[in-house]
Chain A
Amino acid sequence: MTSNSNLQTKACCADLYQSDLARMLLGNSLHPGGLRLTNRLGRLMGLSHGDWVVDLATGRGASASAIARSFHCSVVGIEYGREAAVEARQLALDAPVPADSWFIQGDAEMPPLKPESFDAVFAECSLSVFPNKELAVAQAAALLKPGGRLAISDVTVEPGFLPEELDNSLGQLLCVTGALGVDGYAELLSHAGLVNIYREDASFHVSELLAKIKGALAAFSALACVLDDQGQDGIFGDLSPETDWNGLIEKLEQLVSAGRLGYWLYVAEKPGNGN
């Protein structure tokens, strides 16, 4: 993926995420499970008071600030998009309850931070869209102090099970086209030399999300037409209004219950804790 198409994806994402529907479905944290799963990830990383933490592809920084406040940590959020990074900074400044969170523009594959200086690094629903996942994980691992933890939460699609309706720009937006299988992420962590790899199935949150979408669709079978009327037809990518949404969602639900599509959390440790 070129950086140009990467930016296009981000711009298109922003449009999608600003729609009423997306806000209703995802909330402000823009990944399945929202801050509930962010909090779970923080717990699994075993964060404690005073830890230094990096959030890769932090977006508008909602998770970084929530982690900073909930676990009394210092969090540095890295965001590829300059505008998003500026916005994250501004949101943090305007926050009614301050968080020890800091935002920098940068590439997660070349993080502009000092190696071996962080207690934890996390990437929420972002590794799946990174073009070079091995490099991103290696760089993240390099940031960790010995004994530090790397955590990932992401969409999983078992190889060969991506529905053809999603092998397009919509699938890209939903983070499914670049997603790995459940074992794929664990292997990435292992290849980066990390140990004590823990994984947890959070696919319930995908089912929840699909049920919500289905509910909205039940009421709005003519959803795409209405969106067209509002001049937002670009949001649903190359899907025509005639797309069988219910059929697609049912297919996705079946994939979730068969374990082919999901959302998983991973935590791994950098060896060599001197203690």
Chain B
Amino acid sequence: MEDSRKTDGRLRTRQDADYIFHELTRSICPQCKKVIDAQVIIRDNKVYMRKRCPDHGWFEGIISSDAKMYVDSIGFNKPGTIPLDFTTQVDQGCPLDCGLCPEHKQHICLALIEVNTGCNLDCPICFADAGSGFSLTLEQVEGMLDRYVDTEGNPEVVQFSGGEPTIHPGLPAMIQAAMDRGIGQVMVNTNGIRLARDDRFLETMAKLNPVIYFQFDGLRRETYRTIRGEDLLETKLLALERLDRVGLDAVLVAAIEHDVNLDEVGAILEFGLEHPAVRGVVLQPVTHVGRHIPFDPLHRVTIPDVIHGIVKQTNGRFLLEDFVPVPCCFPTCQVNSYVYVDEDQVTPLPRLLKIEEYLDYITNVSLPKVPDAAQIREALEGLWSASAVPGTDKTAGQFQCACGPGLDLPFGIDHLNKHIFQIAIKDFLDAYTFNVKQVMKCCVAVLVPDGRSIPFCAYNSVGYREQVREELTRQQKAGQS
């Protein structure tokens, strides 16, 4: 009875979907920013987010190019630590009540203060969309720092950013204000131009001794022309040489994009490992917020692309297993590795210690049966955290504790500071990858003069950045007239 198997000429056999439905979450519409449901699906060992806005239709973007890595990372989700105080109330629901609201699942490991919107570059890629706008006063920054102390009790890290913070004349006093409040780890996020050119500024920074979060996108001139709009290679190299001369520590921060510098991640890492001023690298897939070059949401760089890139481009020096998810935030947001560098010898910490035995919180209910397992876990949590700043005594001490049993290290924090190297790969969310679940546990926040601390990816994607900028610019104009 062949006819019964067909209806209007179509085969009546059930078909399997070409994807696995992983979860349902919430996201935003890339066009109108409305909060909408989103499906996370796995197809061809890759993870995608698929969602529909009633007004703007369907959107799909890749969120991880390695489904196994993505799914395996979930076990690293650590119970959050609740801040001392919240600044907003739950009203419209996440991510519209930032922040932090009482439903937030984690305190702040790293706070950003954007001291200005102005910049001495005009990059085609800039998540902050630097340009005209506002410039904070010292008084405003002091108020923000005091509020940060109120909400955190013992705040860990502050990073001054912009715009370009080094062109703000009040930056040294702002750095000092953070240090005076006992925030031991202060970072300055900079393009390095002023450090390369201004002797007096360099000398002031050397006295204050913040960690320099140094934008460094690669070793090819073309990379800078594409990402920064001009060839900055010489300036970058000069700035790093000058940082080394005055003893300032730098972390190289690269924005990674397909067909621009994804093939340079290995070279950036090797360069950093050899440069005397560099204590770590942070590799960040380009976030498609603010200003960015045209992109295909199905073909963006994700964390596994960077890890695979490093493994392929460093001739066996690094393995996939050397990179471990960070438990304090949502573990799909960041992976870290640490290496002990001595002469030509590079020893990744995950080769000395089974990190997953200490940091896998869901499948491993008990710690390994070794003496001091609790201290080792604590030290590893300190290292695998958004608040770990390479080049600082604290990080050196944690490394020392974590690997003490496995590695015969010469004594001395100064020695360790110069020999421990951090590799962090951090994937910030944009409108295509925005996942409320990640934002709710985000531990990187932008401090705002009105007292709020807004999770970084919400700040960039949901519309907070635009609102805050407009308000602060308006206030500044009103104050001047």
Do A and B actually bind?
A: yes
Binding site for B on A (CB under 8 A): 20-21, 23-24, 27, 29, 33-39, 65-67, 69-70, 94-97, 211-212, 214-216, 218-220, 223, 226-227, 230
How far, in angstroms, from A216 to B172 measured CA to CA in the complex? 33
Residues of A within 8 A of B378 (CB): 211, 215
Complex interface: chain B residues within 8 A of A67 (CB)? 180
Q: Of B121-129, B216-224, B406-414, B450-458, which binds chain A?
A: B406-414
Q: Flag if B411 contacts A226 (CB, 8 Å).
A: yes
Q: Is the CB of A220 within 8 A of B411?
A: yes
Give A226 to B409 CA distance when docked, in angstroms: 11
Give the chain B neighbours of A36 by CB distance below 8 A. Answer: 149, 154, 181-183
Q: A23-B413, A39-B182 are in contact. Are A69 and B401 (CB under 8 A)?
A: no
Q: Looking at the assembled complex, report how far the CB atom of A170 sits from the nearest CB atom of chain B, in whole angstroms.
A: 20
B479 to chain A, nearest CB (A): 20
CB A224 to nearest CB in B, in angstroms, measures 11
Q: Is the CB of B405 within 8 A of A96?
A: no
* New A-B pairs, 5, CB < 8 Å, besides A35-B180, A215-B379: A39-B180, A69-B176, A211-B375, A218-B375, A226-B411
Q: Indicate if B82 sits at the interface (CB-CB under 8 A).
A: no
Selected interface stretch from B256-264, B301-309, B390-398, B424-432: B390-398
* Residues of chain B contacted by A230 (CB below 8 angstroms): 411
Bound-state CA distance A34–B371 (Å) is 30
Query: Given contacts A39-B149, A94-B207, A96-B204, is CB(A219)–CB(B404) below 8 Å?
Result: yes
Tell whether B184 is near chain A: CB-to-CB under 8 Å: yes
Contact residues of B: prevailing secondary structure: helix
With a cutoff of 8 Å between Cβ atoms, the chain B residues found around residue A216 in the complex are: 397, 400-401
Contact of B181 (CB < 8 Å), options: A20, A35, A223: A35
Decide if B182 touches A218 in the complex (CB within 8 Å). Answer: no
5 shortest A-B CB distances, which residue pairs? A219-B404, A36-B182, A35-B182, A66-B180, A215-B401
Q: Is B177 an interface residue (CB 8 A)?
A: yes
> Which residues from chain A contact B182 at a C-beta distance below 8 Å?
29, 33-39
A23-B413, A24-B396 known; A97-B173 Cβ under 8 A: yes
Contact of A215 among B179, B397, B411 (CB under 8 A): B397
List, in ascending order, chain B residues with CB within 8 A of A39's CB: 149, 180-182
Query: Is the pair B172, A97 in contact by a Cβ cutoff of 8 Å?
Result: yes
At the interface, yes or no: B268 with Cβ under 8 Å from chain A?
no
Chain A residues with CB under 8 Å of B142's CB are 70
Question: B204 to chain A: which residues have CB within 8 Å?
Answer: 96
Q: Is B208 an interface residue (CB 8 A)?
A: yes
Chain B residues, Cβ within 8 Å of A223 = 411
Hey, which chain A residues are within 8 Å of B187, CB to CB? none
Of B154, B208, B372, B397, the contact of A24 (CB 8 Å cutoff): B397
- Please name all residues of chain A whose beta carbon is closer than 8 Å to the beta carbon of B208 when the two chains form the complex: 96-97
| Chain B residue, CB-CB nearest to A226 | B411
A46 to chain B, nearest CB (A): 14
User: Which of A24, A33, A95 is the most central at the interface, judged by chain B CB atoms within 10 Å of its CB?
Assistant: A24
Q: How distant is the Cα of A214 from the Cα of B374 in the complex, in angstroms?
A: 11
Question: What is the CA–CA distance of A96 and B404 in the complex, to the nearest angstrom?
Answer: 37
B248 to chain A, nearest CB (A): 13
Bound complex: CA A36 to CA B182 (Å): 4
Q: Which residues of B contact A214 (CB under 8 A)?
A: 375
A218/B372 in contact, CB under 8 A = yes
**B273 at interface by CB-CB < 8 Å:** no
Contacts of A65 in B (CB 8 A): 180
Nearest-CB residue, chain B, relative to A229: B411
Residues of chain A within 8 A of B412, CB atoms compared: 20
